[in-house]
Amino acid sequence: MPLVTLTDVMQPALTKGHAVAGLVTLGWEDMRAYVAAAEAEGCPVILQAGPGCRAHTPLPVLGAMFRYLADASSVPVVAHLDHGYTAEECRAALDAGFTSVMFDGSRLPLAENIARTRDIAQMAHAAGASCEGEIGFVGYADGESSAGTDSAEAAQFAAETGVDAMAISLGNVHLQQDQDGGLDEPRLRAIEAVTDVPLVIHGGSGVPAAQRRALARGSNICKYNIGTELRMAFGTALRAAVEADPDRFDRVEILKDTHAPLVAATRRVLVALKG
């Protein structure tokens, strides 16, 4: 089916009590495995092009790849720009056929974050696309620390930007390779009390699977971004494929061996978020 917007999959998630996976793509092998897993589970999927992906493959190429996969798919697929840092980058994604953009102004002062996010939300809506914003910086494992989202600031941000989804900081971090952490549920409930905008968790790989599952059904968290967990699954499968036959050199043949393990790992992620 044709590409859909973030709103098209987030609003049903909000009303029906489940969450959608925003899966971080790096290339053809992972994005086609993600769609295959979503078809197997009969659920929508959000294909995300983050900064690393965009540095490797131009936005127009990514947009065409996402559109091709969506057109051949039986489930809804969103083409989403993850962590856009400028209006120009978000515009380029919309021009390339993306149906959703995320502007990350979380490092900016509140007023500037609101103003710039509002402008990009208006631009996205004028193009028939959706917009995700971020309030409360989400840090990185072994790097910058997260700054928890203030509920009053979240309410102001949601009301004044017009975003379709709001990424928040509840102790989650990007690039975490284990699930030893957990989300700050009292902070989450305080945010839910003041806004009904669908919420997004970046760094979802570090959130314990049981908490992901429970909050997908029992909160306004409608999207979990998952990257590291699936990159690790892909890397493990690729290493095994390379080492299985040291005389094999055709990368297409080697990469074929990553497909089934990555589909299986992705299905485990999707099952936990389904209603």
Give the C-alpha separation, 43 to 87, whole Å: 31
Where exactly are the structural domains of the chain?
Answer: 6-273
Helical packing angle, 110-126 and 151-161, nearest 10°? 40
Nearest to 76 by CA among 119, 38, 126: 38
Nearest to 75 by CA among 101, 51, 105, 39: 39
Task: Tell the CATH topology of 6-273.
Answer: TIM Barrel (3.20.20)
Spell out the residues 6+ positions from residue 92 whose beta carbon is closer than 8 angstroms to its own: 59
pLDDT along the chain (275 residues), means of 10: 97 96 97 98 98 96 98 98 97 98 96 98 98 90 80 98 96 72 91 98 90 95 96 96 93 96 98 88
Q: What is the pLDDT of residue 142?
A: 75
With left for phi above 0 and alpha for psi between -120 and 50, is residue 178 left, alpha or beta? Answer: beta
Catalytic positions: 82
Q: What is the pLDDT of residue 175?
A: 61
